[in-house]
């Protein structure tokens, strides 16, 4: 059974000899790829594809994340505080990466609601869908095309606090902003479907560990109707829709089901999102993916990872609708031996 | 008028809080009284509602802005009063390597609301800067925030730097952020851990009692 078949079978609630296992997006940060492949790590012009192929083969992963890609970032100058390059992405936001720190937004796409009204998203018609085509043609992984919607991308390019405040102070502007982002991402989803994706992942963080960022009623009024429309149009292509959000989503799971999602990914145990419990309540309408705590992969021992993975598979595999993976992506600070332990256990726990 | 100021804090209404505070000052109400009896109780309600998921991040941020506006108006009047009770000073920042600030900002808002003097060092703050700010401001408490499993390990170095400094070794250190927990807190020798922003206020109050 190929990875593609195994994931599809799990989504259709059919029996599989073992649970499918894999990650969303790039899946594994480059440092992890490098550590796990060691001397097999390549650096040539086709390195990304070759390394990620070899890594998935090494681990026995069933899924590959890929996306329609836009133009390269444009270097815009040097940041005065950190002396690091600033660069603008195709959405129009400018960033920099300070030394030994995470990326920092330097200039948002708009600093006033009025400017946001004027903002236009990029024309995606010329974006490159060949990464998806290649994974589909050359491998038998389940190709999960990644894109965004209105929230996660929305606050990344606008700045988190500004985004949140404007949901209160400039509600109509934000609704129109969501419409633009969702419309653009829908185009990317349809391009991904055309390129041969097996599923579409909408990455859209809506929550932190204790609940949603904004009032669920706000989401119901201003956001979910737009998301539902987007998901309906994607599903008309016949593809399943995966939805990624970190955090505690329990107050809005029925809304996400109503929007039409097929798979909920992340399911971070630190946010009370345990797949066995969620399956009991929503397993008929929704499949689940993830649930192995990234912090456990970072700070635990291989034996702890093995025990946790084993117990999760035992409790969540019944009736299908479950894909094992990290509760986010495999971050650079995860221990390679713990990642191996998770995948090895998934392969050992057969029925 | 009490209700008006509290409502303005809870609703995050910057415009009305400016008028309400000015009216109270014009009526001869002491700045300290406005702070203690009007603003702080309003922020306490905000913290409680946030904890119960009755208020969410946008509302809390707006309340924080209203609180800051009110404090800026009151500050010159508070400085005029030599008999005012000295508030405890807390230094707060996100540790080096980490640019995330929403959790730290929420704790800052809650601490301001509880009447602490808060020195916010921002994000990506190196160990030396925490020590310098704690010494300069005679801070009793230092709050360290991190969102990433990679950067939380920088907390250990900061705690050790404080413990090795003869003048600052007794500074109370509180940690918070998604990847940290009480076991980690104990392992690095910090004094307390808070899983939520309102919890941070309570934890600090417990630590200083």
Whole-number pLDDT of residue B85: 63
Residue A243: how many CB atoms within 10 A of its CB?
25
**Together in a domain, B48 and B106:** no
Comparing alpha-carbon positions, the chain A residue that sits nearest to B56 is: A214
Segment B72-124, tens digit of pLDDT: 999 888 777 666 666 789 999 999 988 888 889 989 988 988 889 999 999 99
**Together in a domain, B96 and B165:** yes
Task: Please name the residue that has the structure tokens 């107050």.
Answer: A251
**Together in a domain, B101 and B197:** yes
- Work out the percent of chain A whose per-residue pLDDT is above 70: 100
Q: What's the mean per-residue pLDDT of chain B?
A: 90
Q: Any residues with CB less than 8 A from the CB of A114 and at least 6 apart, and which? A: none
CATH number at residue B152: 3.40.50.280
- Output the CA–CA distances (angstroms, integers) from residue A5 to A17, A318, B92, in the order listed: 12, 18, 51
Looking at CA atoms only, how far is residue A103 from chain B in angstroms?
A: 7
pLDDT at B8 over 60: yes
Q: Which of B178, B185, B194 to mutate to test the interface with A (most CBs of A within 10 A)?
A: B178
CATH number at residue B12: 1.10.1240.10
Domain boundary among B55, B80, B105: B80
Strands B172-176, B192-193: pairing is: parallel
Instruction: Give the residue-averaged pLDDT of A219-223.
Output: 98
Q: Which of A29, A84, A100 to mutate to test the interface with B (most CBs of B within 10 A)?
A: A100
Instruction: Give the residue-averaged pLDDT of A84-109.
Output: 93
Number of domains in chain B: 2
Cα–Cα distance measured from residue A266 to residue B132, given in angstroms and rounded to the nearest whole number? 40
B171 — pLDDT class (breaks 50, 70, 90) = very high
Segment A102-144, tens digit of pLDDT: 889 999 999 999 999 999 999 999 899 999 999 999 999 999 9
Comparing alpha-carbon positions, the chain B residue that sits nearest to A156 is: B100
Cα–Cα distance measured from residue B140 to residue B118, given in angstroms and rounded to the nearest whole number? 11
A52 — pLDDT class (breaks 50, 70, 90) = very high
What residues of chain A have any CB closer than 8 angstroms to a CB in chain B?
A: 98, 100-104, 160-161, 164-165, 167-169, 208-215, 218, 251, 270, 294-295, 298-299, 331-333
Domain boundary among B27, B58, B80: B80
**Together in a domain, B170 and B130:** yes
Q: CB–CB of B57 and A214 under 8 A?
A: yes
- By Cβ distance, the residue of A102, A212, A298 closest to B56 is A212
**Together in a domain, B76 and B94:** no
**Together in a domain, B100 and B74:** no
Segment B108-167, tens digit of pLDDT: 988 988 889 999 999 999 999 999 999 999 999 999 999 887 888 899 999 999 999 999
- Work out the percent of chain A whose per-residue pLDDT is above 90: 89
> Is-contact B107 B197, C-beta < 8 A?
yes
- By Cβ distance, the residue of B12, B99, B105 closest to A101 is B99
Instruction: Give the residue-averaged pLDDT of A157-171.
Output: 95
Instruction: Give the residue-averaged pLDDT of A51-71.
Output: 96
**B54-68: burial string, b at 16+ Cβ within 10 Å, e else:** ebbbbbbbbbbbbbe
The structural domains of chain A, with segments of one domain joined by +, span 3-70+108-348
Q: CB–CB of B59 and A295 under 8 A?
A: no
Among B residues 35-64, those touching chain A with beta carbons less than 8 Å apart? 53, 56-59, 61-62
Please check whether residue B122 touches A, CB under 8 A: no
B1 — pLDDT class (breaks 50, 70, 90) = very low
Domain boundary among B34, B50, B80: B80
Question: Taking phi first (over 0 means left), then psi (-120 to 50 degrees means alpha), and beta for anything else, what does residue A92 get?
Answer: left
pTM for the complete prediction?
Answer: 0.91
Q: Which of A99, A210, A247 to mutate to test the interface with B (most CBs of B within 10 A)?
A: A210
The residue range of the domain holding B132 is 89-208
**Together in a domain, B16 and B53:** yes
Instruction: Give the residue-averaged pLDDT of A173-191.
Output: 98
**Together in a domain, B131 and B48:** no
Segment B41-69, tens digit of pLDDT: 998 899 899 989 999 999 999 999 999 89
Strands A74-78, A85-88: pairing is: antiparallel
CATH 3.30.70.20 assigned to domain A3-70+108-348? The reply is no
- Helices B127-136, B154-164: axis angle to 10 degrees equals 40
List chain A residues with CB under 8 Å of B94: none
Cα–Cα distance measured from residue A130 to residue A132, given in angstroms and rounded to the nearest whole number? 5
pLDDT at A252 over 70: yes
- By Cβ distance, the residue of B59, B100, B124 closest to A168 is B59
Q: CB–CB of A100 and B61 under 8 A?
A: no
């Amino acid at each position: 059974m190929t990875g593609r078949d195994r994931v599809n079978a799990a989504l259709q609630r059919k029996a599989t000899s073992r649970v499918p296992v894999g990650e969303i997006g790039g899946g594994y940060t480059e440092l992890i790829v490098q550590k796990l492949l060691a001397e097999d790590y390549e650096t040539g012009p086709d390195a990304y594809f070759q390394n990620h192929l070899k890594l998935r083969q090494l681990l026995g992963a069933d899924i590959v994340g890929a996306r329609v890609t836009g133009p390269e970032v444009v270097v815009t100058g040097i940041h005065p505080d950190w002396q690091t390059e600033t660069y603008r992405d195709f959405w129009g936001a400018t960033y920099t990466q300070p030394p030994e720190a995470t990326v920092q937004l330097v200039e948002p796409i708009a600093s006033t609601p009025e400017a946001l009204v004027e903002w236009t998203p990029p024309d995606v018609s010329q974006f490159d869908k060949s990464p998806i085509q290649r994974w589909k043609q050359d491998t038998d992984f389940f190709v999960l095309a990644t894109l965004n919607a209105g929230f996660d991308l929305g606050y990344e390019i606008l700045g988190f606090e500004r985004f949140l405040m404007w949901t209160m102070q400039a509600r109509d502007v934000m609704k129109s902003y969501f419409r633009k982002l969702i419309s653009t991402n829908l185009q990317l989803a349809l391009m991904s479907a055309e390129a041969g994706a097996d599923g579409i992942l909408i990455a859209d963080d809506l929550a932190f560990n204790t609940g949603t960022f904004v009032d669920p009623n706000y989401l119901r009024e201003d956001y979910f109707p737009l998301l539902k429309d987007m998901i309906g149009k994607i599903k008309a292509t016949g593809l399943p829709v995966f939805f990624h959000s970190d955090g505690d989503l329990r107050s809005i799971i029925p809304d996400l089901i109503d929007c039409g999602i097929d798979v909920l990914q992340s399911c971070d145990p630190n946010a009370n999102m345990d797949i066995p419990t969620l399956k009991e309540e929503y397993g008929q309408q929704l499949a689940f993916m993830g649930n192995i705590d990234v912090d456990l992969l970072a700070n635990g021992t291989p034996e702890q990872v093995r025990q946790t993975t084993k117990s999760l598979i035992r409790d969540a595999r019944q009736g299908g609708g479950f894909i094992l993976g990290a509760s986010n992506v495999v971050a650079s600070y995860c221990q390679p031996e713990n990642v191996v332990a998770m995948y090895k256990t998934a392969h050992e726990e057969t029925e | 008028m009490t209700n008006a100021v509290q409502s303005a804090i809870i609703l995050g209404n910057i415009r009305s809080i400016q008028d309400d505070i000015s009216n109270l000052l014009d009526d001869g109400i002491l700045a300290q009284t406005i702070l203690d009896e009007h603003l702080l109780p309003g922020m306490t309600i905000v913290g409680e509602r946030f904890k119960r998921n009755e208020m969410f991040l946008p509302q809390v941020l707006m309340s924080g802005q209203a609180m800051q506006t009110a404090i800026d108006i009151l500050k010159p009047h508070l400085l005029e009063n030599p008999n005012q009770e000295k508030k405890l000073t807390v230094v707060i920042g996100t540790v080096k390597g980490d640019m995330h600030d929403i959790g730290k900002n929420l704790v800052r808002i809650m601490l301001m609301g509880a009447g602490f003097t808060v020195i916010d060092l921002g994000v990506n703050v190196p160990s030396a800067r925490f020590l310098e700010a704690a010494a300069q401001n005679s801070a009793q408490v230092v709050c360290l925030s991190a969102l990433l499993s990679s950067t939380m390990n920088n907390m250990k170095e900061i705690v050790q730097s404080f413990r090795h400094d003869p003048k600052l070794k007794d500074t109370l250190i509180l940690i918070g952020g998604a990847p940290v927990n009480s076991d980690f807190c104990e392992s690095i020798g910090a004094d307390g851990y808070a899983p939520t922003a309102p919890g941070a206020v309570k934890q600090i109050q417990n630590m200083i009692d």
